[in-house]
A and B are shown apart, each in its own frame.
Chain A
Amino acid sequence: MKKEWPLWEVFIRSQHGLAHKHVGSLHASDAEMAINHARDVYTRRNEGVSIWVVRSADVVASSPDEKAPLFEPANSKVYRHPTFFPMPEEIKHI
């Protein structure tokens, strides 16, 4: 018998209008317990207005071996970054 509870990934939205952000993981036997645990472990200091939990096993991740074909082609395409426009001096914070 497996004794450990399954692992869950926790996402917290800190303010309305912002996206949920991955904050960590925890163990729980099902979704309801995972929400309770996420509340107890990750929102103790007033961090959140909303919680998402996802079974870690359900997360589909890209393989580290595929790093080259997936990401390297973008490296050489600097023209995809909007950095070629002359900006007037007086415009700040862009």
Chain B
Amino acid sequence: MSNDTVQYLLRLGDNALILSHRLSEWCGKGPALEEDMALANTALDLLGQARLWLSYAGELEDAGRDEDALAYRRNDRQFCNLLLVERPNGSYADTMVRQFFFDAWHHLALQGLCRSADERIAGIAAKAIKEVEYHLRRSSDLVVRLGDGTAQSQKMMQRAVDELWTYTGEMFESDGVDEQAVVAGIGFDPVALREPWLSYVREVLSEATLRIPPADAFMQKGGKQGRHTEALSYLLGEMQYLQRAYPGAQW
């Protein structure tokens, strides 16, 4: 039970950590100063959330690993984030579609976690959901602007939607860890998020004049169980470099 809970927390923490790192890769390269800062803000929000989830996971695990050990000294197969969040940044269209798909899910997931029987989980979720509400508002807004924008931006957005769609199915897959979290009353049922997610995404994509791919399309999965796309290994190579080269280094 406790092992499952640790795994459950690692998933939440890894989603936030990996997406935060991806967004931080935009720092200084955003298409406009204002967008650059907005992405950095989102990255920092997610990093803060990752710290809370991973610290709690480390405490429950009780094996002497703190948030830093979990973030910087695990290998790719030990990460259990969704495949979606590790996908490379690509163009701004790719980044915003990835963000939109994730934010829409993240917001629903945190709503569920706010009702967790575990007070610490409910507390972290209550803090995070305020940040994520804004993330979702921003990414929805940009999806509509870029989708219903110029012929070029619409083309790029449609390509991003079609490309990333295959990584969305995993968000609604339930496995033993999820089931255990539901039984213990500490987590949410991912399957139940699918309909509300689809209905929100459908609404925004239609306003953005973008085609929504079929809901029953082939979906990639495995991230939650540690089977990742190769993109994650390169990301970790950069993110973990310092702690790998100089173990225990501090500022």
* A31-46 interface with B by 8 A CB criterion: 32-33, 36-37, 39-41, 44
B38 x A40 contact (CB < 8 A): yes
- The answer on a CB contact under 8 Å between A44 and B141 is no
Q: Are A5 and B138 in contact (CB under 8 A)?
A: no
Cβ of A54 within 8 Å of any chain B Cβ, yes or no, is no
Q: Does B242 contact A (CB under 8 A)?
A: no
Decide: A37 and B141 in contact? CB cutoff 8 A: no
Residue of A nearest to B138 (CB): A36
Query: Which residues of chain B have C-beta atoms less than 8 A from A28's C-beta?
Result: 34
The reply to whether A40 and B141 contact each other, CB–CB distance below 8 Å, is no
A29: CB under 8 A from chain B?
yes
Contacts of B34 in A (CB 8 A): 26-28, 37, 40-41
| In the assembled complex, B89 has its CB within 8 A of some CB on chain A | no
Interface positions, chain A 47-94, Cβ under 8 Å from B, are none
Residue pair A40, B145 in contact (C-beta under 8 Å): no
Write out the residue numbers on chain A whose beta carbons fall within 8 Å of the beta carbon of B137.
36
Distance (whole angstroms) from the CB of B212 to the closest CB of chain A:
24
Q: Tell me the nearest residue of chain A to B39, going by C-beta.
A: A40
Q: How far is the CB of A27 from chain B (nearest CB, A)?
A: 6
CB proximity to A under 8 Å, residues B133-148: 134, 137-138, 141, 145
- Bound together, the chains give a CA A73 to CA B44 distance in angstroms of 53
Please tell me which one of the listed residues A26, A29, A37 contacts residue B145 in the complex, with CB atoms under 8 A apart: A29
In the complex the two chains form, what is the Cα distance from A28 to B33 in whole Å? 10
Closest Cβ of chain A to B138, distance in Å, is: 6
**Do B141 and A5 touch across chains, with their CB atoms under 8 A apart?**
no
- Interface flags for B24-54 (1: CB within 8 Å of A; 0: not) read 0000000011100110010000000000000
List residues of B whose CB falls within 8 A of some A CB: 32-34, 37-38, 41, 134, 137-138, 141, 145
**Which residues of A are at the interface with B, using a C-beta cutoff of 8 A?**
5, 26-29, 32-33, 36-37, 39-41, 44
The 6 A-B pairs with the shortest beta carbon distances in the complex, nearest first, are: A37-B34, A40-B38, A40-B37, A41-B37, A40-B41, A26-B34
What are 26 inter-chain pairs, A to B, with CB distance below 8 A? A5-B32, A26-B33, A26-B34, A27-B32, A27-B33, A27-B34, A28-B34, A29-B145, A32-B141, A33-B145, A36-B38, A36-B137, A36-B138, A37-B34, A37-B38, A39-B134, A40-B34, A40-B37, A40-B38, A40-B41, A41-B33, A41-B34, A41-B37, A41-B38, A44-B37, A44-B41
